[in-house]
Structure 1
Amino acid sequence: MDFRHTSLARLAAEVNEMSRSAVELVSAALANIERDNPTINAFCAVDQKLALQEAEKIDQQIRGGAVLPLAGIPFGVKDLEDAEGYTTTFGSAFHVNDPVATADSELVRRLRAAGAVVVGKTNTPEFGYKGKTDNVPFGTTRNPWDLSRSPGGSSGGSSAALAAGMVPLATGSDGGGSIRIPAALCGLSGIKTSQGRVPNGGPTPTGSGLLTVKGPMTRKIRDTAYALDYCVGDEPTDIFSLPTPSGPWFPELDGNLPKQIIWAPTMGITTCDREILSLCQAFVDKLSDAGVEVIEHDQIWNEHPLAAWLVFWTSARARAQGHLRGTDEWNQIDEALRPQIEMGLDRFSSADYAVAIDQCHRFAYQLEQAFGQAPLMLTPVTRGHAPTLEGDGFVDGEQTPDWVSYTMGINMTRNPAGALPIGLSSEGLPIAMQVIGRQRDDLGVLQAMAAMEDLIGFDELAQGF
């Protein structure tokens, strides 16, 4: 069963109506994984017996009269968060022999409470440290659109599984673009909600500290909104969690385009690949032709956020893995990750961390000043094309490690932001636009993305799956 053709709401309705069973949906997902995972390597752990047992429990609830909004929906869990019965390895050889989790993360718990069924863990780079998905214990995840290219990261296992139709739902997390980047590279609509909208909570602090946002991932934004309605809301164990919205978001996606948008091709901080910029400009022109007032405002920030973002990121890595330096276990960590840990240990001071927090304020202030012109902003998601499996992304035909740029600052400002596929490159790879909203206006971003999806009509699929 190819899950790319049916909405979450329709699949769940069929299970609730008993025209299809949860066991049937989960069995189909397991068959997809068995067939396609050897090629794509999206899943790093699958427990067929456990998944089918959970699906049967859902069917028993339905036969008993229960109505569950995500009844029987099979989903993958990014291997940076806990799912009961699975080891959380963080993509690290250091953790592959850890005990299985005895409880779910708060996001997984909420999805399961709504009737969804975990079928396995999806691959991630070690501790989510980069925008590609490969690691020592589980190997490289491939992009279903081109098996020689990366699906991005760090939610690359989830995005690849969705792009291939293995499952209709997966979890992701975003500390610098890790939902938006793989969504963009795999032709999905994905959103990093406002920090705290989907609570983290639980006994363990988040891996990237102030930056971390978790959330559901799907192929289309209406499906994401449908799942989000059962994920958002207050959580007492998350000091940043936001109140539960006054009503569900999914029914509010009315298909009406925004009246005004800001178009910021470089945000004043970078340059962009010519082909990507051309496709983005064509989409902006299409919005203008549809009656949207487009305000070009390119000087959003007066400096690149990377330097300040690195303070947060490397400090979090030093906090979590710094104690391993000088031990035998140090060599079990990805050799490309070790310099980031050492940077957090040796380069930055507590004063640097305080200055980085000040930078969050400045970036948010400058962004809000721009929003005085219009409530939504469009930028490219990445400045370059998808990386090769062994190398970097491409900007104007040249490989460079600086192929992202647009996403990490929005983790610092905490604004909601989504990735929206708008077309294919000359190589047949998806290209995406970033849709940024004002503080806590997640609904506004979802509404705009749904209407833009309708306008652009991007229905292309990765072939061969």
Structure 2
Amino acid sequence: MTLAMSWDEWARHDATALAARVRGGEVTPAELAAQAAAGIARTNPTLSGVVELFEDVVADPLKDGMDASGPFAGVPYLMKDLGPTLKGRLQEMGSLLMRGNRAQADSFLAGRIRQAGLNIIGRSTTPEFGCCSSAENPAVYVTRNPWNTDYTTNGSSAGTAAMVSAGVLPISHATDGGGSIRIPAGATGLIGLKASRGVFSIAPNASDLTGLVSIQGCHTRSVRDTALFVDRCRGGAPGEFMPYWSAPEPYTDLIRRDPGRLRIALSHEWGDYRATPHFVRELERVGRFLEGLGHHVEWALPQVDFRAAFAAQTTCYISNFAQTVANLLAQHGLDRPPADRVEPINIRIWEAGLNTSYTERARMQAVFNTTSRAFGAFFEDWDIILTPITALPTPLIGTTEYLTISDNPSVHDWFGNLWRNFAYTPLANLCGIPAISMPLGRQESGLPLGIQAQARQANDGLLLQLAAQVERALEGRWNGGERPAVHVARA
């Protein structure tokens, strides 16, 4: 098959640039889809990041209602196999239990994505129900990191991270209930924005009120692609519980200007959790870089009861995921999770959380409130707080203590392992504040290390503005201009 462009040329384009070429008549959406499909064929046997390719949509990008006049003009896109549904398409959630499950309707966000001109050509991998840090169950699939396939991508937006990092496509869907956009972006050298509450709809099956901590989004390799995605896919569906807010101006315009001099706090000591010395040095180095851009940078920390906050977050996860599992069991007419089709930790979460009382949830929400107020007070004095994306290095494939295939008998101890590694991302979900992972560091293993910036609620634009300023200072060369070991232009 003759492709529209060489792999090196393809990988140099972000989504905005590909769309411009479509509008200029140089390439068609069908040619873009064919190239992305060839990229999947080229890399997926090694990375296992794609569950299914929609060959009918590759052949006819307009088949499912994609609007080629939208700003992305037919750029190919993968949907994480969790969250937004696509009518008639499989959604299996990384689970043996959900094999063969087909969605009855498009979700609201799926429609927004298609209206934006993104061509959804397949499904990307996720751990079972999105409930752990790696898409890594050998009975389902094992998604590997393109930078070094001995390592995980982290999760839960695992397949998206692998495919965007490997140059297969420039933008793809991700979700974040405690870091699942930012953590894999950080380990694979991508930009991952977790938006504030009230940006992306999860209608019709849930809302910001019922989802509480879960946010939709994307992975990209350029700030302008993320900005355009937010601009064109944001907004509430009819009947939303929470107010859906709009930015004063499009982010695609805002990011063309540098922010003013920002007050940036560095931190890595969050309650009982600490980053490794190497990660602290990388954070300090990035702090000095930002000082060089004219910002004020020093160490500071919100006055948060971190133990109480992480305990409340654990209660939220256990009770939320227990209900998720219960709802899926009801669809199958089952009374309890079958041990041969649901992973051990998810069974234990179901057992531990199914009968969570209103009193326990009320106490949890009270801590959510005090934690959110503490971050709010902090952001009266500071514009940004900067942390490493994780406290500990990205695990090797086969490190089971973080996985839902773990044999750990204690759900609370299992979550404690998660927080030790992924300490810096979940509280943004708890508080509903925005956070972004920028590929600015490097781990001792050679993998990328994301540096996370968080801001006050609804200050998403400031994070994108800062990221764009950094991108310009780097002349667009995130990750030092390096490409992963597994990449479409190397294969």
- The TM-score normalised by the length of structure 1 is 0.91
Offset at residue 319 of structure 1 (A): 1.3
CA contact (8 A) 1:155 1:179 kept: yes
- 1:113-172, Cα deviation, whole Å (9 max, x unpaired): 122111100000000001111246531100101101110111011111100111111111
For residue 227 of structure 1, what is the aligned residue in structure 2? 229
Equivalent of residue 416 in structure 1, options 420, 430, 434: 434
CA contact (8 A) 1:170 1:216 kept: yes
Distance 1:410 1:328 in 2: 31
Confirm or deny that 1:95 pairs with 2:113: no
Distance 1:430 1:196 in 2: 30
Distance 2:120 2:209 in 1: 22
For residue 189 of structure 1, what is the aligned residue in structure 2? 191
Q: 1:156 to 1:57 in 2, by over 3 A?
A: closer
For residue 129 of structure 1, what is the aligned residue in structure 2? 131
For residue 261 of structure 1, what is the aligned residue in structure 2? 264
Equivalent of residue 54 in structure 2, options 31, 40, 47: 47
Offset at residue 220 of structure 1 (A): 2.1
- 1:391-412, Cα deviation, whole Å (9 max, x unpaired): 0699xxxxx6521111111101
Equivalent of residue 279 in structure 2, options 276, 281, 288: 276
Q: 1:454 to 1:208 in 2, by over 3 A?
A: farther
Confirm or deny that 1:438 pairs with 2:456: yes
For residue 10 of structure 1, what is the aligned residue in structure 2? 17
Equivalent of residue 110 in structure 2, options 108, 111, 115: 108
Deviates more, 1:356-365 or 1:77-86: 77-86
- 1:394-442, Cα deviation, whole Å (9 max, x unpaired): 9xxxxx6521111111101000111111122232110111110111111
Q: Return the letter of the residue paired with 1:362.
A: T
Distance 2:117 2:216 in 1: 19
Q: 1:34 to 1:206 in 2, by over 3 A?
A: farther
Distance 1:224 1:463 in 2: 24
Secondary structure of 1:148 counterpart: strand
Distance 1:135 1:213 in 2: 24
Equivalent of residue 203 in structure 2, options 196, 201, 204: 201
Confirm or deny that 1:168 pairs with 2:170: yes
- 1:22-62, Cα deviation, whole Å (9 max, x unpaired): 11100000000111111100001112123321258999x76
Confirm or deny that 1:308 pairs with 2:315: no
Q: 1:236 to 1:326 in 2, by over 3 A?
A: closer
- 1:261-297, Cα deviation, whole Å (9 max, x unpaired): 1222324452111111111111101212332111321
Deviates more, 1:403-412 or 1:42-51: 42-51
CA contact (8 A) 2:213 2:429 kept: yes
Secondary structure of 1:211 counterpart: coil
Confirm or deny that 1:329 pairs with 2:338: yes
Confirm or deny that 1:218 pairs with 2:220: yes
Offset at residue 386 of structure 1 (A): 0.8
For residue 378 of structure 1, what is the aligned residue in structure 2? 386
RMSD of Structure 2 on Structure 1 (CA): 2.5
Secondary structure of 2:79 counterpart: strand
CA contact (8 A) 1:269 1:302 kept: no
Q: 1:275 to 1:220 in 2, by over 3 A?
A: same
Offset at residue 107 of structure 1 (A): 2.1
CA contact (8 A) 1:91 1:123 kept: yes
- 1:52-110, Cα deviation, whole Å (9 max, x unpaired): 21258999x76xxxx32111100000000312342111111111122x32432222211
Distance 2:326 2:31 in 1: 46
For residue 397 of structure 1, what is the aligned residue in structure 2? none
Distance 2:208 2:456 in 1: 24
- Aligned sequence identity (%): 27
Q: 1:234 to 1:429 in 2, by over 3 A?
A: same
Distance 1:168 1:178 in 2: 18
Q: How does 1:293-304 map to 2 (within 5 A)?
A: 293-304=296-307
Q: Return the letter of the residue paired with 2:364.
A: A
**Where in structure 1 are there 5+ consecutive unaligned residues?**
395-399
Q: Return the letter of the residue paired with 1:37.
A: N
Distance 1:57 1:317 in 2: 31
Deviates more, 1:121-130 or 1:301-310: 301-310
Distance 2:352 2:127 in 1: 19
Secondary structure of 2:470 counterpart: helix
Equivalent of residue 340 in structure 1, options 343, 349, 367: 349
Q: 1:437 to 1:367 in 2, by over 3 A?
A: same
Q: 1:201 to 1:147 in 2, by over 3 A?
A: same
CA contact (8 A) 1:77 1:172 kept: yes
Q: Return the letter of the residue paired with 1:332.
A: R
